[in-house]
Each structure stands twice: as C-alpha cells, then as structure tokens.
Amino acid sequence: MQLDLTSWQAAPTIAGPRPTSADGTRPSRDYTAQWCAFVETRHDVAAWILDEARRRAPHGRVAVANLVEEARLRFKVTINNSWRAPAADWLVVMAPELDAVIERRKRKAVGP
C-alpha cells in the first residue's frame, strides 16, 4: 500500500499512539503539528527527504539530521531542528523498511 505524504499522522509512534497534535489542531511549540504543516505545504521537500532516505538505506544508518541539513541547502527552506523527531517517525511510517536504519528516541511523557 502506497501512503500519501500526510497519511502517516494516524500511525502510532514507537512510544505509543501519536500525540493528538498530529491532526494539526494545536499550533505553537507542537513540533509534530509543525512538521505536518511543513509536509502539507512543501511536498517537494518532503518527497525529496523520503526518496533520499530510501536511497541511503542500503548503505547503513540514515541520519535525519543530515537529511534535514541537505534539504535546507538544496531547497533554501527553513526546517526547525525540533522537527527531526517527527520527521523520523514520518519516514518510518512512509517507508517501514527504514525502521532498521533510522534512529529514533522514545518520547518523554508530557503533562502533569
């Protein structure tokens, strides 16, 4: 099944269900929502990041930080470093074969 670039929002993270922010309703410091908005508006950049991650996967570890930095330079866009964690989750949902080569951290509990 081929996913579109935004269908990953409903998929669970490695630490459980995706935060409700993935639906894009909570702005500000909600980095998942910000990444979703970026993917929505810059399909060209998101598609390049996904294609590049797939291209690099057979060669070992894929560093999301490097992909983000190269995308900034190539497309002359602003990509917040805080978006790297949701971008990593997005990449693994979009291409499950990347799970073995993309390093992801478990999310810390948020709230009281």
- pLDDT confidence of 29, banded at 50, 70, 90? confident
CB within 8 A of 58, min separation 6: which ones? none
Please tell me the distance from the alpha carbon of residue 84 to that of residue 35, in angstroms, as a whole number. 9
pLDDT in tens, 44-82: 999 999 999 999 999 999 999 999 999 999 999 999 999
Q: Which residue has the higher pLDDT, 32 or 10?
A: 32
